A = this chain, B = another copy of it.
Amino acid sequence: MAKKPELDDYRVPYFDGKKIKPFDLASIDTASKPFSSGAKDADRERLSELSTALDGLQEKLHAQRAHRILLILQGMDTSGKDGTVRGVFRDVDPLGLRVVPFKAPSETEAAHDFLWRVHSQVPAAGEFAIFNRSQYEDVLVPRVLQQIDSQGWQRRYRQIRDFEAMLAENGTTIVKCFLHISKDEQKVRLQARIDNPEKHWKFDPSDLDARKLWDDYRLAYEDALGATSTDIAPWYVIPADSKTHRNVMVAELMVRILQGLKLEYPPAKESLKGIKVE
């Protein structure tokens, strides 16, 4: 009997502090569905259970105000970052989530160090923040566009590791997901946006330019994943050609991580015992 898949099988090995070992993305099949039951209906049912569980965990997180949660979503264009937010967190109280999209830096943002705009958005005590793209754009894009050299991006890897360590030491739980799709799947999804006039607003012609650089982005990702997966901020690679599978797997991961925090409602206040409101 095949071994049941474990989330940790999809975790990028931790950087050893010495030599960067790029993560081989080909080692994980984008079309595989390790966390699927095999039946779409059952998967949707499971997703619904997990989303409800996340809602309960988020309420405790908020009530306790001890932990801070940061989920970082990265992936090629059309890999499903928006869809993951919607699918996984649909039952979570909108009050309890802060979704932060990072676009191309504004003039003011670009005039600062690359972590400046990111730092201002990290979660506070009791908060659950999701970064839709993140500081990682700044080691991927400038590298592929040849605006920084190897020394430059390796310095940024270190700066990111140090920054994330500081956040973790101050009570932030960091989880990073790479949504892993194939080049063929991207083709289908981009074509669908082009063929549906109502989706044109989602389509940025520069996505086609980025697609031409697919192999360069893939290499940049493999390097970045290997250089920045750490025990306090691990990367997980999510097979994401199937949207349902992607959502189930991210939901399983987040439920496990939140359950691991032993979130609890703060103790009842003895001082409230017996009080009658007038």
Contacts and interface: CB of A to CB of B under 8 A. Distances in A.
Interface of A: 63-64, 82, 85-86, 89-90, 92-95, 97, 99, 101, 132, 187, 190-191, 194, 197-198, 200-203, 205, 208, 211, 265-269, 271-272, 275-278
A95 B86 CA distance: 7
Given A191-B277, A194-B277, A275-B194, A201 B63 contact: yes
Contacts of A187: 277-278
Contact of A132 (B95, B197, B205): B95
B197 A268 contact: yes
Contacts of A208: 275, 277
A82 B198 CA distance: 33
Q: Which residue, A94, A191, A205, has most C-beta atoms of chain B within 10 A?
A: A94
Number of this chain's copies in the assembly equals 2
A190 B277 contact: yes
Nearest to A81: B95
Nearest to A193: B272
A265 B201 contact: yes
Contacts of A97: 94
A92 B91 CA distance: 11
23 contacts: A63-B201, A63-B202, A85-B95, A86-B95, A90-B94, A94-B97, A94-B99, A187-B278, A190-B277, A191-B276, A191-B277, A194-B272, A194-B275, A194-B277, A197-B268, A200-B265, A200-B267, A200-B268, A200-B269, A200-B272, A201-B266, A205-B271, A211-B278
Contacts of A85: 93-95
Top-5 shortest CB links A-B: A197-B268, A63-B201, A190-B277, A191-B277, A201-B266
Contacts of A64: 201
Given A277-B190, A277-B191, A99 B95 contact: yes
A27 B276 CA distance: 30
A183 to B, nearest CB: 10
Given A85-B93, A92-B94, 16 more contacts: A63-B201, A63-B202, A64-B201, A82-B93, A85-B95, A86-B93, A94-B97, A187-B277, A191-B276, A197-B265, A198-B268, A201-B265, A201-B266, A203-B272, A208-B275, A208-B277
Contacts of A205: 271-272
A115 to B, nearest CB: 20
Contacts of A198: 265, 268
A187 B277 CA distance: 6
Q: Which residue, A64, A97, A198, A208, has most C-beta atoms of chain B within 10 A?
A: A198
